[in-house]
A and B are shown apart, each in its own frame.
Chain A
Amino acid sequence: MSAITASVDYQFELLAPAAPRAKPALVPDPLPLPIGQRESVRLLRASLDAAIAAKVMNATELIRAVAKQSRDDVTPTMLEPLDALLGGGLRRGKMTEITGRRSCGRFSIAMAALASSTSIGEAAAFIDLGDHFDPQIAESCGVDLRRLLWVRPHTMKQAVMAVEMLTATGFQLVVLDAAGHPIKGRRVHDAAWVRLARSAERHGAAMLISAPYPLTGTASEAVVNTWPIRARWIGQHPRVLAATLINVSLQKHRHIRPGHEAVLSFRAAESARDDNG
């Protein structure tokens, strides 16, 4: 069977055409100016009142400003040494991981982050894998319980699922506490953390993963390792736990050189004993 068609009246080129050679010039072309500094924009701004000209912004400047704002948009933990270590706090749209073993201050850092977020009116979710959350302690740490959704999953898989669902719902801060070692339930696949990181980026939520050992791999923006330095006791009869000193070390950060360390101090809350009276 054959079909009639018009003959091909041109020749395909076997080789890509040579790149056009630059014409020799004694004076090279000037580099393109940034749009905000162009002559027309400069003249427009010069014609306006200074107060108004300072507020005039063209589209390119606006895009750059929005991009910078999203880069700089953080949820501070209001623990100054830690915020300084992380470049301002927990970055929105990114996943931050805190690791450390027993009594290393992970839970206190999570409470501080929740307190900071809920105190400014944001909605936060706490995924409590080990069922360790104490609302009284949280309230005394400054967490606004009305704005905090407390989720107690049974397994790590459920916890990851809850994090993803709540991030997509619009919570501005989602904290997953993976409890102590060993982690309750089986480990989830590494791809799950990548998926969570993408979900955080898509919805602009700050995501904090607190675990006894690193879980998130390459998916997280920053990894902070914590370990206890010492506990401070005061008095003799009676002796009272006054504070704990925690060392925090930046293990990984996409924009900050890792290796920096800082010391956090947490004062002991008056918990059970002061309830007595």
Chain B
Amino acid sequence: MRIACLYVPLFPLAARLRSEPDLLNEAVAIVEGNGNNAHVVAATRRARKKGIRPGLSLAQARSIVPKLIARGRDGECERTAQEALLEVAETFSPRVEDAGEGVVFADIAGMERHYENEEALAKAAIHAAVGVGLPAWCGIAASKLAARVAAELTPSPQIVEAGKESDFLAPLPLMRLSPEMEAAITLQRWGLTSVGDFARLPESEVASRLGESGRDLHYAARGIDPRPLIPRATPPEFREGMEVEWPLVALDPFLFIANAALDRLAKRLETAGFACTRLEVTLMLDPDGFHSRAIELPAPTRDVKTMLTLIRLDLEKTPPGAPVVGFAIVAHPDRPRRAQLSLFGPAALSPEKLATAIARLASILGDDRIGMATTVDGHLPDRFAIADYGPPPPPDARRKPPKSRGLLAVRVFRPPIPVEVITRTANGETQIAAIQSDGDISGEVRLSSGPWNIESRWWSESPAAREYWDAELMRGGIYRLYREEGDGGWFIDARYD
């Protein structure tokens, strides 16, 4: 088995810089703890050059670099950065183990067919990790331990040949095996400095003096790592988010950082070959509480502008009501729609562009204002429903359109316009004589025809019984009118046009 380890050095800092890339060239320290207990856990190169080291208290660090930018450890940033690292590893292997804290193992057995050698694979993995904003190192070995140690060494990548694990580890300092504090002190007292020195000791003697943990450490020093790779189940969603330094009360600053998060999310979705079909936004409120919302997208998309517009419109419609101190955006993935274009038939629409256009229009006009119209069974006119628009593929060859039916269409009025109608009876026949309304649909009627009775849903609690008429005004315009049989009100519901 060959195992690749992706390792992100100074992971808390790398995760933070992924969310705030502007801080990359500043003197920044990531601190853990509050008040007097706050201490530095990682610092940027610029801060390290000035003497900032992990373990310093924040007060000490500030005394060295007064303009030091301090950021607390952000669990949300680290969680999403770890997810992004896992997804990078998943593009190389389906068997990926999450070791946490910026470490990921991947089983790369069988991948040699796709890459010239293991070094090329490792370089591709590093490049992919940099693509999602994480400066990763890579090591490849036959065991997780050796791969992990190789990944922590520079220059990266480091490749350990199969069966040469003990030789690879031997010259390294013993601290590379991360022994327990007590065992480390004992080994130091024994005068052992390198892994090879320790590996040469008899196993039974080490076990009798250091116990079970000492035996495991001895195994590790000899390059033996019996721990199998435990692949993780693929999560059904993609998540990005961060905690902000101060409570946000305005929408624009929030959208600014949400845009960056969506950008990262879109890149991760693209890496995995997915598009987003549903967004879940969770806002952490000040002083406590959460505000969650779900936004359905009309079609799978990776367009950041569309997703940001949808979030903005949703927040404008229902503001959270309290300052926001953090957020998490979860994208539910779906396969993007693909279509085969025709050489000879009419051009097909690009599903990706169509989905984006519909999503943007739906966000501006409303979900019920755009889509595919469908007819609904019934007896009354103007029955329709709106469905998701997904046109079938065009035919393979162009054809001539059939002759037009030449039918007169009607322009429906929604809602129907209430009017007053004057009728007259001549020769035993009732005719509409005139129409009066508040708008411009008024005047004497030249000719009319009707009534055409329609009775609908007579079995239900809301039956409709109407008599329909057609009427042509003297001043022009042919209208369709109806009268409700119950209260006798007249309405114009369409114009022949």
Contact = CB atoms under 8 A, between A and B. Distances in A.
Contacts of A275: 378-381, 454
B373 A148 contact: yes
A73 to B, nearest CB: 11
A40 B395 CA distance: 41
A240 B469 CA distance: 10
Contacts of A77: 404
Interface stretch (B156-164, B188-196, B221-229, B356-364): B356-364
B454 A272 contact: yes
B345 A121 contact: yes
Q: Which of B372, B389, B410, B494 has the most C-beta atoms of chain A within 10 angstroms of its own C-beta? A: B410
A131 B370 CA distance: 11
B365 A152 contact: yes
Contacts of A117: 401
B201 interface: no
A197 B448 CA distance: 42
Given A112-B404, A130-B411, A268-B408, A105 B468 contact: no
The majority secondary structure among interface residues of chain B is: mixed
Interface in B428-461: 429, 447-450, 452-455
A78 to B, nearest CB: 4
Given A139-B375, A239-B449, A134 B412 contact: yes
A87 B96 CA distance: 64
Contacts of A243: 408
Given A165-B360, A275-B454, A276-B452, A134 B410 contact: yes
Interface in B465-485: 468, 470, 472, 476-478, 480, 482
Interface string A12-23: 000000000000
B438 to A, nearest CB: 15
Given A120-B399, A136-B375, A272-B468, A149 B497 contact: no
Contact of A153 (B369, B379, B386, B449): B369
B360 A103 contact: no
B497 A76 contact: no
B404 A107 contact: no
A172 B349 CA distance: 9
Contacts of B371: 149-150
A2 interface: no
Nearest to B360: A165
Contacts of B395: 120-121
B495 interface: yes
Contacts of A265: 406
A228 B453 CA distance: 28
Nearest to B384: A135
A266 B403 CA distance: 13
B67 interface: no
Contacts of A119: 401-402
Contact of A146 (B372, B404, B408, B448): B372
A10 B346 CA distance: 63
Contacts of A228: 476
B236 interface: no
Given A244-B408, A266-B408, A152 B413 contact: no
B424 interface: no
B462 interface: no
Interface string B374-405: 11001111111010010110110011111111
B354 A169 contact: yes
Contacts of B476: 101-103, 228
B407 A267 contact: yes
A153 B361 CA distance: 9
Contacts, number: 228
Interface residues of A, number: 79
Interface string A134-163: 111111111001111111111000100110
B335 interface: no
B496 A166 contact: no
Interface stretch (A30-38, A42-50, A230-238): A230-238
Given A169-B350, A241-B470, A136 B383 contact: yes
A141 B404 CA distance: 8
Contacts of B449: 233, 238-241
B383 A145 contact: no
A231 B364 CA distance: 40
A239 B430 CA distance: 12
Contacts of A162: 361, 365
Nearest to B382: A134
A241 B496 contact: yes
A131 B373 CA distance: 12
Contacts of A175: none
A137 B357 contact: no
Contacts of A146: 372, 391-392
A123 B392 CA distance: 9
A145 B391 CA distance: 9
Contacts of B472: 231, 233, 241
A131 B413 CA distance: 7
Contacts of A115: 401, 404-405
Contacts of B392: 146-147
A55 interface: no
Nearest to B345: A121
Contacts of B400: 120
A79 interface: yes
B483 to A, nearest CB: 13
A108 interface: yes
A56 interface: no
A232 to B, nearest CB: 10
Given A149-B370, A272-B480, A137 B391 contact: no
A174 to B, nearest CB: 12
Nearest to B371: A150
The 5 closest A-B pairs by CB, nearest first: A273-B452, A121-B394, A78-B404, A266-B408, A135-B373
11 contacts: A115-B405, A122-B394, A130-B411, A132-B412, A135-B374, A136-B381, A147-B391, A149-B371, A162-B365, A237-B429, A268-B408
Given A101-B476, A244-B496, A275-B380, 4 more contacts: A79-B406, A102-B477, A136-B383, A158-B364
